[in-house]
Structure 1
Amino acid sequence: MAWFLNFYKCDRCRRRWTDEWSCTCDDECPHCGARDMTPIRSEDLTELIEEEGSEFVVMRSPDTAEHDPDYEEIGRFPTRAQAEEFLASTEQD
């Protein structure tokens, strides 16, 4: 399932916050309660590359994820470049 880090700025109180979710959805301001705040930008976190010791681990949020990304390992590589090449060559189901 797609996973996003959404960045928000409240139209009422002008405060900023972030929230992770499976879509780029509107949110309620945690500071003043204003509703229907649309993200000002979002980062796609569906696929990640994490460094573990001397390896680079490719992680993907599966279609079965619901309330958290529930990442699954889909590959390990000796270099970040190889991990990025692997991601570029695969399509998400």
Structure 2
Amino acid sequence: MAWFANHYECYRCSEHWIDEWSCMCDDECPSCGARHATPIESEDLTFQVVADAGAFVVLRSPDSAEHRPDYEEVGRFASETLAKQFVARFERL
């Protein structure tokens, strides 16, 4: 399942906040409580590439993720470039 960091700006009080969720959904302002704020930007965090003991590990949020990403390892590579190429190919499927 996709995982996103949604960036919001409140239409009532101009508060800025970020909330992570499994979709690009509306949210409630944590400052004034205004409802149905739509993300002004969303970062796709479905895949993460992290360094681990001399390798680069690709993590993916699985289809079962709902309230947290629950990242699972889907590949381990000798270089960050190879790991990112793997993610690019996987995203095109």
Is the TM-score greater than 0.5?
yes
* Equivalent AA in structure 1 for residue 33 of structure 2: G
TM-score norm. by structure 2 comes to 0.93
CA deviations over 1:67-86 (Å, ceiling 9, x no partner): 11100000111110010111
**Offset of residue 55 of structure 1:** 1.2
SS at the partner of 1:81? helix
Question: Unmatched 5+ residue regions in structure 1?
Answer: none
Task: Quote the RMSD (CA, aligned, Å).
Answer: 1.4
Count of matched residue pairs: 93
Distance in 2, matches of 1:89 and 1:25, equals 26
| Residues 1:75 and 2:75 aligned together | yes
Distance in 1, matches of 2:59 and 2:18, equals 22
Question: Unmatched 5+ residue regions in structure 2?
Answer: none
**Offset of residue 91 of structure 1:** 4.5
Question: Which residue of 1 is the match for residue 51 of structure 2?
Answer: 51
**Offset of residue 89 of structure 1:** 2.1
Question: Which residue of 2 is the match for residue 30 of structure 1?
Answer: 30
**Offset of residue 28 of structure 1:** 0.3
CA deviations over 1:7-55 (Å, ceiling 9, x no partner): 0000111010000001000000000000110000000001111112321
Distance in 2, matches of 1:92 and 1:48, equals 16
Distance in 2, matches of 1:20 and 1:68, equals 8
Overall identity of the aligned pairs, in %: 59
Question: Which residue of 1 is the match for residue 62 of structure 2?
Answer: 62
Distance in 1, matches of 2:82 and 2:13, equals 45
